[in-house]
Each structure stands twice: as C-alpha cells, then as structure tokens.
Amino acid sequence: MELIQQLTQGLGVDESQAKGGAGLIFKMAKEQLGDGEFAQVASAVPGIGNLIGEAPAGGKGIAGAIGGLAGAIGGGSGGQLSNIAALAGGFSQLGLNPTMASKFIPIILSFTQSKGGDGIKDILAGVLK
C-alpha cells in the first residue's frame, strides 16, 4: 500500500508500526466524524478498514481521563489534547515514541490530499489539529 510505503520510508518505522499508527489516526477520525464525512475520507483511502483493524485495541480509557482532566483545567482545549493523548497511548503500544504521532499526521494528510483533494484532507485535518 502506497501510504504504508511512505510512512516506512519517511519515518524509519516497520510495516506493522506504519499500519498500526495509520490505523490509530483513521480510527480516531472514524469515531469523531459523522458517517457522511468519514465515508468521504474512506472513499479516498484504499484499505482504510484494514488499517483501522491494525490499530492497537484499548488505550482510550487513560487518554479519555487525561483529556477530561485537561478540559476541566484548560477550558476549551480538552478535545485536542485528548486526541493527542489518545494517539500517544496507541503509539506507545506499537513500540513507538508517542511523539511519532505528530510525524505520521503530515504524511497521512498529504496522502489523503493526493487521493481525495483538499476537501478530504480538510475533513481529516479538522480531527487531527
């Protein structure tokens, strides 16, 4: 798959880490987007269901708690912090430094833009930023 090749070559991760990391990002998008918006993203990304299946299970409980706490402390920033924390937990389960999530995102956004145009990229970016 073209996206997995871009991630492995660009970031020096192995194939299972690339699939799992991309899967985590798309899984989060699926959970946060409406069905119509996610369907648009899914139509532009071949094999998105398989990637979501590669995402590590669990990990959201702690991230949700961190996001909730951050929301209580920081006001409106809880949602974004919760997204970052959720990804960081999943990336740790893949044996990757949690900061790798921020390196996966631009590659995935560029890929979705090349496959589906600016509109698809913007839908996904709205969840990831």
Express each pLDDT in 19-44 by its tens digit.
999 999 999 999 999 999 999 999 99
Q: 57-110: per-residue pLDDT in tens? A: 864 444 443 444 344 434 444 455 667 677 888 999 999 998 898 899 999 999
Confidence class for position 128, pLDDT limits 50, 70, 90: confident
* Whole-number Å distance between alpha carbons of 17 and 127: 21
| Stronger pLDDT, 86 or 1, i.e. the higher one | 1
* Whole-number Å distance between alpha carbons of 45 and 113: 10
Q: What is the helix (H) or strand (E) element at residue 25, kind and residue range? A: helix 15-32
| Stronger pLDDT, 111 or 75, i.e. the higher one | 111
User: pTM, whole model, 2 decimals?
Assistant: 0.81
Give residue 57's pLDDT. Answer: 83
